[in-house]
């Protein structure tokens, strides 16, 4: 019986798909989780989500997360990401794309997906990591951080950090608002659904709908700011036509 259980465990490990073997470190997962614009990368593809979920089972993940929480640069990166127009583009391209939901539905019916998720629990190395975590140098270094003067200096000098100063001036930057407006009107922000708001989609249909021998009407893109600026431009005054030269007066009759 014990031999059969061992063979089943070895078979599960051998059948683990290749995407669970990707080199995803706990530090890289923490880096993406603290960057709002990169979080969708962990959820778009089930094959990319599996290594990230496996990394969260490693005790080093929680040590890296605790270290990141004590670094003021982490909060600067999070706030900068929340004001970045790429936040809207990356999140909406995931949430509005039906292909993402179809991939997760297919993954929910794939036995290899569950095998990849259960494989770490069959790995004795994971249990050894948790048993040895109190003696892990990363955890010992984490416990010594309250005695590190460098940590307090980072927080004291954070208000003078150029990244934070630039972040405080972002609400006064007009390009931030134009960037957000452009992201909401960009068809690429909506994945495969972006074709419905792309004027080129309907512009390609007009030549087929126009009668034979007539030119299709020009396409007016209401999302183009240049169109509205042209509508507000006053029309030019008409140029008066050049007057024809006056005819010469008839000559007076000669007197005798």
What is the pLDDT, as a whole number, of residue 1?
A: 45
Average pLDDT over every residue of 202-229 = 59
- With the C-alpha atoms ordered 134, 140, 144, 146, is the resulting torsion angle positive or negative? negative
Mean pLDDT of 231-247: 62
- Contact indicator for 220, 227 with CB cutoff of 8 Å: yes
Q: In sequence order, which residues have a C-beta less than 8 Å from that of residue 9 and are 6 or more positions away?
A: 122
pLDDT confidence tier of residue 224, bands split at 50, 70 and 90: low
102 pLDDT exceeds 80? yes
Q: Is the pLDDT of residue 18 over 70?
A: no
Calculate the CA 236 to chain-centre distance. 44
Band the pLDDT of 117: cuts 50, 70, 90. Answer: confident
Q: What percent of the chain has pLDDT over 90?
A: 24
Count of Cβ atoms closer than 10 Å to residue 113 Cβ:
20
Tell which residue, 155, 115, 126, 152, has the closest CA to residue 12.
115
From CA 159, how far away is CA 153, in angstroms rounded? 11
> For residue range 144-183, what is the model confidence (pLDDT) as tens digits?
988 989 999 999 999 999 999 999 999 999 999 999 998 8
Is residue 225 scored above 50 in pLDDT? yes
71: alpha, beta or left, given left = phi > 0 and alpha = psi -120 to 50? beta
Q: Average pLDDT over the chain, rounded to whole?
A: 78
DSSP strands (E only) in 18-85: none
In the block, tokens 């396409």 appear at 219
In this predicted structure, the answer to whether residue 9 has a pLDDT above a threshold of 60 is: no
Distance CA 174, CA 197 (A): 25
Asked if 77 and 71 count as a contact pair (C-beta separation under 8 A), the reply is no
Where residue 21 falls among pLDDT bands split at 50, 70, 90?
Answer: very low
CA angle 132, 138, 139 (to 5 degrees): 65
- Report the candidate in 1, 17, 46, 3 with the shortest Cα–Cα distance to residue 119: 17
CA distance 207 to 87: 37
Q: Is 205 helix (H, G, I), strand (E, B) or coil?
A: coil
Give 19's pLDDT tier (boundaries 50, 70, 90): very low
User: Hey, what are 200's tokens?
Assistant: 């080129």
Domain ranges of the chain: 25-192
Question: What is the mean pLDDT of the segment spanning 13-38?
Answer: 68
pLDDT at 121: 85
Tell me: pLDDT of 218 over 70: no
More confident position, 205 or 115: 115
Per-residue pLDDT reduced to its tens digit, 38-85: 888 888 888 888 888 888 889 999 999 999 999 999 999 999 999 999
What was the pLDDT predicted at 229?
66
Give the mean pLDDT of 73-99: 90
């Amino acid at each position: 019986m014990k031999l059969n259980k061992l063979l089943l465990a070895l078979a599960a490990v051998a059948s683990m798909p290749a995407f669970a073997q990707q080199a995803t470190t706990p530090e890289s997962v923490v880096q993406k989780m603290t960057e709002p614009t990169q979080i969708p990368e962990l959820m778009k593809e089930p094959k990319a989500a599996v290594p990230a979920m496996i990394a969260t089972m490693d005790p080093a993940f929680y040590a890296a997360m605790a270290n990141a929480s004590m670094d003021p640069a982490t909060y600067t990166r999070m706030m900068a990401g929340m004001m970045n127009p790429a936040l809207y583009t990356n999140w909406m391209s995931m949430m509005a794309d039906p292909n993402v939901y179809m991939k997760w539905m297919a993954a929910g019916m794939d036995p290899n997906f569950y095998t990849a998720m259960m494989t770490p629990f069959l790995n004795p190395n994971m249990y050894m990591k948790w048993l040895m975590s109190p003696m892990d140098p990363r955890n010992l270094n984490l416990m010594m951080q309250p005695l590190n003067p460098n940590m307090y200096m980072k927080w004291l000098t954070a208000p003078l950090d150029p990244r934070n100063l630039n972040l405080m001036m972002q609400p006064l930057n007009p390009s931030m608002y134009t960037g957000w407006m452009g992201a909401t009107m960009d068809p690429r922000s909506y994945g495969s659904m972006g074709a419905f708001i792309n004027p080129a989609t309907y512009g390609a249909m007009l030549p087929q709908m126009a009668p034979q021998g007539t030119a299709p009407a020009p396409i007016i893109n209401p999302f183009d700011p240049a169109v509205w600026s042209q509508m507000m431009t006053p029309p030019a005054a008409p140029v008066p036509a050049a007057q024809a030269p006056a005819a010469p007066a008839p000559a007076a009759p000669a007197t005798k």
